[in-house]
Structure 1
């Protein structure tokens, strides 16, 4: 399997009004439809999508490092709301209008936060980390996920300290890729994908583990917004062979019921690397929902 994942075509940093920096990367035509990729755990701006797919669909793919990852300034105690405000300021400063978002894995709540704040006009969640702290999901959580949710609820600072000391680029890659479905294994074994994924994780931990720890605690905590109130269209994409305990125990069924604007797709014989095995399908569906009527 050749993913055709390449290094960024454009790299930069944007200085926000408060002096913090946001590191970003882009692929595809600058005049294309802007798609913000909120990537997975500790993954910096260096990992994108297959360049042939985004080129065919006229997509301007944008990745932005979350606080404390890659080239983005650290920010103590930042929240999902803060992230949405940062992306809104980033879009205004770079004159990016009509942006939509993809949230992959742990990136899902960050994409939803942008939707709740009306910073983006449409969202696609792929292999998404559900609101695992929602009481309705508690009986279905696997022991590992239940333990992490409990730690996050007991105290963010303590949970962040534990997480910060427990992971680095190599251990996180092995945790993600090691137990994956066979289709996923072919993605992770692809030289182009592997090279860029390793670079993104190494860059993600360049400032230490605090940024990874903070985003993980946010993803494992209750959302500061009601998913049912998100005003933009949302696609939910899950694979029937997704075994990651930090995604969704019911593969998005209950999440779809709580989101009136959502439609759910379950892909057979696929794993959690769905965003790279079905890139064009995911993008085409998202773009079709925000096209002018």
Structure 2
């Protein structure tokens, strides 16, 4: 693989207090400053980013398999709040300090949830999903996405059951490719990134589609954290060429206006794959929010 993606350098599992197993993948120095990576939709933690940048920055990337995805046991009542509880336990057990987080695509609400509960010092939201049910955002949505929001609000359990019965790894991959701009498609369909991305999806669906469907319902519903109350720094990164209908429809403009401590970067030459093409800039800016003593 090229320097955009490399296989995990380490993989581990731990047992949570309630007996569930939580799995993750790591890149970078073992003693590096921890960066929790909230991956995109339906993905295990296999697909990381910025591996060649991490040693020089002194960062350790930790990509969690969310419950029900990859090797992490399902949570019977998974919510964004239960995710925060799991991550609080993970941070405590592993004695992590000055924790940072990155949320990519559907990982955005999971990163926002960590910031809203002050578990992290700062977050970067990259090609992130917006709070699509928010009244300022909803009028900007593609009709198909608006229909999904309406279905979740009408009956979230029915929506989840429907997607868990119909969603597949291959179907989600084709959806991602179909929504991607040409710049992103060329990268996602390359041998290197494409193979890693599809492996992460295959692992994400290894227990079936239920984990993905629950994440989708939680991400499309109302979030349990008020973005206006998040005081930690939030770096918003978007590519102006991004054509995904499930990312922020205005490239983070409304998000930036709602967050008290946000920086907002829209690169007109990049697309949704900016996570890999500008990984150093994203990670370096994120680290700058932490004072190392």
SS at match of 2:97: coil
- Which residue matches 2:78? 78
- Which residue matches 1:208? 208
Partners of 1:181 and 1:269 in 2: CA distance: 12
1:2 shift after superposition: 4.1
- Which residue matches 1:244? 244
Contact between 1:23 and 1:64, CA under 8 Å: does it hold in 2? yes
Consecutive unaligned residues in structure 2, runs of 5 or more: none
Partners of 1:55 and 1:186 in 2: CA distance: 28
- Which residue matches 2:166? 166
Contact between 2:4 and 2:276, CA under 8 Å: does it hold in 1? no
1:55 shift after superposition: 2.5
Q: Evaluate the alpha carbon distance shift between residue 225 and residue 50 of structure 1 in structure 2; reply closer, same or farther with a 3 A threshold.
A: closer
Residue 30 (1) aligns with residue 30 (2)? yes
TM-score by length of 1: 0.96
Consecutive unaligned residues in structure 1, runs of 5 or more: none
SS at match of 2:281: helix
TM-score by length of 2: 0.96
1:292 shift after superposition: 4.5
**Superposed, which structure 2 residues align to 1:57-68 within 5 Å?**
57-68=57-68
SS at match of 1:224: coil
- Which residue matches 2:133? 133
Contact between 1:47 and 1:197, CA under 8 Å: does it hold in 2? yes
Contact between 2:121 and 2:233, CA under 8 Å: does it hold in 1? yes
Q: What is the number of equivalent residue pairs in this alignment? A: 293
SS at match of 1:136: coil
- Which residue matches 2:114? 114
Partners of 1:197 and 1:96 in 2: CA distance: 28
1:231 shift after superposition: 2.3
- Which residue matches 1:123? 123
1:290 shift after superposition: 2.0
- Which residue matches 2:280? 280
- Which residue matches 1:56? 56
**Superposed, which structure 2 residues align to 1:139-218 within 5 Å?**
139-218=139-218
- Which residue matches 2:6? 6
Partners of 1:121 and 1:3 in 2: CA distance: 27
Partners of 2:235 and 2:50 in 1: CA distance: 20
1:89-122 per-position Cα deviation (integer Å, ceiling 9, x unaligned): 0111112211100000000000011111111111
1:234 shift after superposition: 0.3
> Over aligned residue pairs, what C-alpha RMSD do you find?
1.4
Say which is worse superposed, 278-287 or 182-191, in terms of deviation.
182-191
1:178-223 per-position Cα deviation (integer Å, ceiling 9, x unaligned): 3422221232133221222111100100110110000011110111
1:46 shift after superposition: 0.7
Q: Evaluate the alpha carbon distance shift between residue 2 and residue 182 of structure 1 in structure 2; reply closer, same or farther with a 3 A threshold.
A: farther
1:59 shift after superposition: 1.4
1:288 shift after superposition: 0.9
